[in-house]
Structure 1
Amino acid sequence: MSFIFKSIDHIQLAAPKGSEAVARIFFGEVLGFQEIEKPETLRKNGGVWFQFNNYQIHIGIEEPFAPAKKAHPAFEVENLEALKMHLTNNEVSFIGDTDLPGANRIYVHDPFGNRIEILEWI
């Protein structure tokens, strides 16, 4: 082939109209992602963008809104136990899962019902 895929540029999750403040609390304050400015030409669409390391999470507005219940991003973390305590302290529930060999993982749902996998390879 004459082309190659280089990396994932960003992941987009959907949210209902007017939910940017809630997204800022969950993704910015609870998960600790840095909010980044959207390009001027896309601001009219609503939503909010975040970044950690070289990865971007775009929270886009979708009407009518329906959360992604099966399709999901998966984030690798270091020290999953500390994150679980942090989530508990912030009243964010999670579901533990041991079905993936070689990994400890949990599932959380963002405030809009989108499923997010968080795992630590052991």
Structure 2
Amino acid sequence: MIHHVQIACPAGSEAVCRAFYGGVLGLPKIPKPPVLAARGGCWFRGHGIELHLGVQEPFAPARKAHPGLLWPDLDGLAARLAAAGYEPVWSDELPGYRRFHAFDPHGNRLEFLAPVSFRNAVSFRNAV
């Protein structure tokens, strides 16, 4: 089981991260421990996932490596992303899942997916 996934962001980009991850994705921001807060970045939690946005200098976006995030309402999320200017790119290459990729404001690749049926969701949970 994974506790969290860290995604890199440039220094001073916390407002942009909050607008995207908190606003567009709708993930609640959670407090960082004070000793870690001094390093910058921000943390989010929701839908069974925890994402840590950590400052990396020099910053380079992860264009290939990415978290695969199970998401309860792919169509709603895709619509919110598109409305905010983050075009989802749908793919049918993973049998048993609906999924798409999008990029955050810093150019980091993100994958959002959901099982296509309840049976597949149960099989997925039992395999973990």
Give TM-score, length-normalised by structure 1: 0.89
Measure, in 1, the Cα distance between the counterparts of 2:87 and 2:5.
22
Q: What are the Cα deviations for residues 2-41 of structure 1, in whole angstroms up to 9, with x where unaligned?
A: xxxxx21110000011100000000000000010111011
Q: Secondary structure of 1:25's partner?
A: helix
Residue of structure 2 in register with 1:75 after alignment: 69
Please point out which of 32, 37, 51 is paired with 2:45.
Answer: 51
Measure, in 1, the Cα distance between the counterparts of 2:74 and 2:84.
15
Q: What are the Cα deviations for residues 87-118 of structure 1, in whole angstroms up to 9, with x where unaligned?
A: 22222211111111111110011111111000
Residue of structure 2 in register with 1:117 after alignment: 111
Name the Cα RMSD after superposition.
1.2
Matched, 1:18 2:1: no
For 1:101, the aligned partner's letter is P
Which structure: greater helix fraction?
2
> Unaligned 5+ residue runs, structure 1?
1-6
Residue of structure 1 in register with 2:123 after alignment: none
Deviation of the 1:82 alpha carbon: 2.1
> Unaligned 5+ residue runs, structure 2?
117-128
Q: Secondary structure of 2:76's partner?
A: helix
For 2:34, the aligned partner's letter is E
Residue of structure 2 in register with 1:90 after alignment: 84
Give TM-score, length-normalised by structure 2: 0.85
Give the percent of matched residue pairs that are identical in Structure 1 and Structure 2. Answer: 43
Measure, in 2, the Cα distance between the counterparts of 1:71 and 1:93.
18
Cα 1:54–1:105 shift into 2, 3 Å = closer
Cα 1:21–1:106 shift into 2, 3 Å = same
Please point out which of 3, 13, 38 is paired with 1:9.
Answer: 3
Residue of structure 2 in register with 1:3 after alignment: none
For 1:45, the aligned partner's letter is R
For 1:61, the aligned partner's letter is V
